[in-house]
Amino acid sequence: MPGNLNLSMEQTHFGFTTVPAAEKAERVRAVFDSVAGNYDLMNDLMSVGLHRLWKRFALGRTGLRPGDQALDVAGGTGDLAAGMAEQVGLAGLVCHTDINRQMLEQGRRRLVDAGHFATVSSLQADAEHLPFADGTFNCVTIGFGLRNCTDKPAALQEMGRVLRPGGRLLVLEFSKPAVPLLEPFYDLYSFRILPWLGEVVAGDAASYRYLAESIRMHPDQEALRGLMTTAGLEDVQYHNLSGGIVALHSGYRY
């Protein structure tokens, strides 16, 4: 059942497969090791470029000002980190983190090439155990990474913990289409076209099949709002993008 969190503490979802919780991080690492080299190209192909608009929408809601500090969790190739670096300027700081070394290195190269070497610090880190003090950041973002976390409530609590009072958490993630007519077309795309693209472009259908399955198992809009509220975030709201295929959730620490 998509978004089902009712598993024992020793088990979790890896796509549609139930696996020991201790194994998920390694399985996810293997997926992103495989896709890292083609990640940006595949993002453009998979979303027909829409991922850039979704990220721009999220960046428009960071509330960041020059001199602020921000954290991009599961930052991958650095799109959100780069955008926040522009917002905080040379007087600010953006921490760009990812649990996967290859994704982090891809992102660091792109950030340096874009001229953000002085403003952005890249660090390998687990979303469920962030190596930062309480109340460090004005804004924390996670884009298309929460669904890959083994313990989503723990990751949300950690991201809330490192927010300053008044700071906001932005969670950009695939979600449940709000328009029922979209669902059959979305299923066809996810389970037929997406793995085919993965095979043709990246030579790896299995990893992209997992990514499609992980979207279906992720909590829907209301369930994620509940998780964020339980994690201590306040005034949690969400905006559906592209008919609910993607949603941006926001919450505050007061």
0.85 surpassed by pTM: yes
Where residue 150 sits, what CATH number does that domain have? 3.40.50.150
The predicted structure's pLDDT at residue 1 = 40
Mean pLDDT of 126-145: 97
Is there a domain that residue 197 lies in?
Answer: no
Give the pLDDT band (50/70/90) at residue 31. Answer: confident
Instruction: Decide if 213 is inside a domain.
Output: yes
On the question of pLDDT at 186 being above 50, the answer is yes
Say if strands 69-73 and 93-98 run parallel, antiparallel, or are unpaired: parallel
Domain contains 37: yes
Asked which of 8-12, 48-52, 154-158, 167-171 is least confident by mean pLDDT, the reply is 8-12
Contact 104, 39 (CB under 8 A): no
pLDDT beyond 60 at 110: yes
Q: Is the model's pLDDT at 101 over the cut of 60?
A: yes
Count of structural domains, the chain: 1
pLDDT exceeds cutoff 60 at 3: no
Q: What is the pLDDT of residue 36?
A: 85
Range of the domain at 154: 11-178+209-252
Asked whether residue 49 is domain-assigned, the answer is yes
Helix (H, G, I), strand (E, B) or coil at 146: helix
The answer as to whether 45 is a domain residue is yes
Q: Is residue 152 part of a domain?
A: yes
Query: What is the model's pLDDT at position 9?
Result: 57
As a whole number, mean pLDDT of residues 192-198 equals 90
The Cβ of residue 159 has, within 10 Å, a number of other Cβ atoms equal to 29
Instruction: Assess contact for 219 and 147: CB atoms under 8 A.
Output: no
